[in-house]
Amino acid sequence: MVATTRLLGPAGYGRLAIFFMLLEMISHLLGWPNLGLVRFGREELGRDDRLSESFWARLALFGLSLAAVALVLYLLRMPLAGYLRLACPTYLLLLGFAAVNELIFLLRGVYQTTGAFGAFAAVTFSVRALNVVLIVLLFVLIGFPANTTRVLYAQTASIVVVAIGAALFLPWRRLRPVALRLAAVGRMASYSWPVILTGLSALVVNWIDLAVIKQFRSAEEVGWYAVSYQAVTVLITLQVAFVNGFLPLIVSLAVERRSGTLILYLDELLPQAAWLIGGGCLLLAACAEAIPLALGGPYRPSVVPCQVLMAGVGFCALGALQAVLLKATDRVRATFLVTAVLAALNVLLDLALVPRFGNRGAAAATTIAFALSGLLYFPIVNAISELRGEAPRRRYGALFGLLLPLVMAGALPRLERPWARLALLAALLAAWLASARGLGVFKRETLDRARDIRMPGWFERALRGFYGVVGR
């Protein structure tokens, strides 16, 4: 992000952001069966020690979706060209980028389902790392003139290389023989189709801010907010990767009907995760003050919106930790309900706040929508009989962990000087630490009670170190 923002400037980076807005829309239309691959692939893996039936069903749905998307993009090629104004056939670039990108997600789904989290992480990291290497090599070291189209070409080349590498190292033994069964395709489609609606609602949430800013404000403001949201998107990507890492485990626990462990997850781990997320939001908001140092003075207006959005990320992460249970218990449609409410709130609040307050209004709209929609997961999860536990209402106490980030989001826009914002954040971090220790939020015995939850060794060591410092 640092390289592209400096190379393209606010206006050029804003155009790049709009391209990725359209790309995400296409990606949801191509990637909707990925959840079904994990759901049925994990079941098939436990039963037959392979996932050929699930893999080839997923590949068939990918091919059908790609053909439909290609037709729509061809029919819309003229409006797309006029909207983005790129120096290339826009619909072909969108189609090619989306196809390769979603193929990578499909291959990552295989690694995720088989528990090859090292390969899963390597593919995720390689996408960003190779992208940075190519951009720096071509436009900084070699000195090719940079524009939005050339940057997109470089990014397309990087994901093609990653897709080839990911395909070469697939566990092909478990994907044979080719087993394309219409029943498996139908079952996966029936389970996964609500993901299309959920994804499109999420698309509205992720990009409506930029669309409304583009309509009511300047191109520079689109670029400023794109930087703010891109910084937050990196965190959301890490959150998604973390949740995806746990999804196969949660699916296995649900399939094996180990409701006691799932209730422990809700009653003990979720509140502690909320407090941990809240502290992380405060710390990362302080780091956002470095945006002008990293990207240059023109991006100073990106700082406060980014900080306000951090509070929204906290509620987004807390919701994702509950949504994974809905997916594992075959209640995918409930996640669409929450996301649809979130999208509607975001649109209404953007239209009310952006024309008057610009970027800060957009950040406030997204954060308010995340906070309100995050509340919806609690009654939905608590209504599932096997997850109720003894005191489901006590789970609402997890929201106290995100109270200080909400205070931060309301106070920081009133402070124009960086030192004043940093002083407030330092005070809030001190209050967070004192509250967490005083209330005994982080209980060391929780790790012993959660020993049935398999996790990477480095992550378990980090958790034990953290609990050793702040736990009781």
Token digits of residue 170: 């697939």
- Quote the pLDDT of residue 103: 92
221 and 285, same domain (yes or no): yes
305 with 417, same domain? yes
The answer to whether 43 touches 113, Cβ cutoff 8 Å, is no
Do 320 and 236 touch, CB atoms closer than 8 A? no
- Report the pLDDT value the prediction gives residue 237, as an integer from 0 to 100: 66
Q: What is the pLDDT along the chain (472 residues), one digit of tens a residue?
A: 566 777 777 777 777 877 887 888 888 788 888 878 888 888 888 788 888 888 999 999 999 999 999 999 999 888 888 877 777 788 888 999 999 999 998 998 888 888 787 888 788 888 888 888 888 888 877 878 878 888 888 889 999 999 999 999 888 888 888 878 888 888 888 888 777 777 777 777 777 887 888 888 877 787 788 888 877 776 766 666 666 666 666 766 776 677 777 777 777 778 888 888 888 889 989 988 988 888 878 888 889 999 999 998 888 888 888 888 887 777 777 877 888 888 888 899 999 999 988 889 999 999 998 888 878 888 888 888 777 777 777 888 888 888 999 999 999 998 989 999 999 999 999 998 888 887 777 776 766 665 655 555 666 677 777 777 676 6
Cβ contacts of 269 within 8 Å, gap of 6 or more: 446, 450
Residues 6+ apart with CB under 8 A from 333: 194
Q: Are 344 and 202 in contact (CB under 8 A)?
A: no
Residue 394 lies in a domain: yes
Helix 2-31, helix 148-168: angle, nearest 10: 60
- Residue 455 within a domain: no
Q: What's the pLDDT score for residue 407?
A: 93
Give dist(CA 192, CA 330) in Å, integer: 10
| The predicted structure's pLDDT at residue 2 | 61
Q: Please tell me the distance from the alpha carbon of residue 7 to that of residue 143, in angstroms, as a whole number.
A: 11
Residue 448 counted as domain residue:
no
95 and 239 co-located in one domain: no
The residue behind tokens 């996966």 is 188
Asked if 119 and 230 sit in the same domain, the reply is no
Report pLDDT for 245.
62
Specify whether the CB–CB gap between 364 and 225 falls below 8 A.
no
Cα-flanking dihedrals φ and ψ of residue 442, to 5°?
Answer: -95, 110
Write the CB contacts of 455 (distance below 8 Å, at least 6 apart in sequence): 463
DSSP letters, 14-78, are HHHHHHHHHHHHHHHHHHTTHHHHHHHHHHHHHHHS--HHHHHHHHHHHHHHHHHHHHHHHHTHH
Whether 434 and 286 share a structural domain: yes
279 plus 382 within the same structural domain:
yes
Residues 109 and 245 in one domain: no
CA distance 158 to 180: 31
Cβ atoms within 10 Å, residue 31: 24
C-beta neighbour count of 402 within 10 angstroms: 23
452 within some domain: no
Indicate if 183 and 242 belong to the same structural domain. Answer: no
Domain assignment present for residue 119? The answer is yes
The string of DSSP letters for 264-309 reads HIIIIIHHHHHHHHHHHHHHHHHHGGGHHHHH-GGGGGGHHHHHHH
d(CA 17, CA 227): 9
In a domain, 258, yes or no: yes
Is residue 210 one of the residues assigned to a domain? yes
User: What are 269's two structure tokens?
Assistant: 């781990």
Both 94 and 135 in one domain: the answer is: yes
Neighbours of 168 (CB within 10 A): 8
CB 8 within 8 A of CB 147: yes
Last residue of a domain, one of 192, 209, 237: 192
Q: Show which of 192, 214, 248 is a domain's final residue.
A: 192
311: exposed, middle or buried (Cβ count in 10 Å: 0-12, 13-18, 19+): buried
Let me know whether 176 and 204 are in one domain: no
Q: How far apart (Å, rounded) are the C-alpha atoms in residues 378 and 395?
A: 8
- Separation CA 302–CA 233 (nearest Å): 14
Into how many domains does the chain fold? 2
> What is the residue whose two structure tokens read 């309301």?
410
Query: Do residues 229 and 142 both lie within one domain?
Result: no
Residue 397 DSSP code: G
> Domain range for residue 355?
196-441
Residues 220 and 351 in one domain: yes
Q: Is residue 469 part of a domain?
A: no
Among residues 192, 222, 238, which one ends one of the domains?
192
Q: How many CB atoms lie within 10 A of CB 416?
A: 9
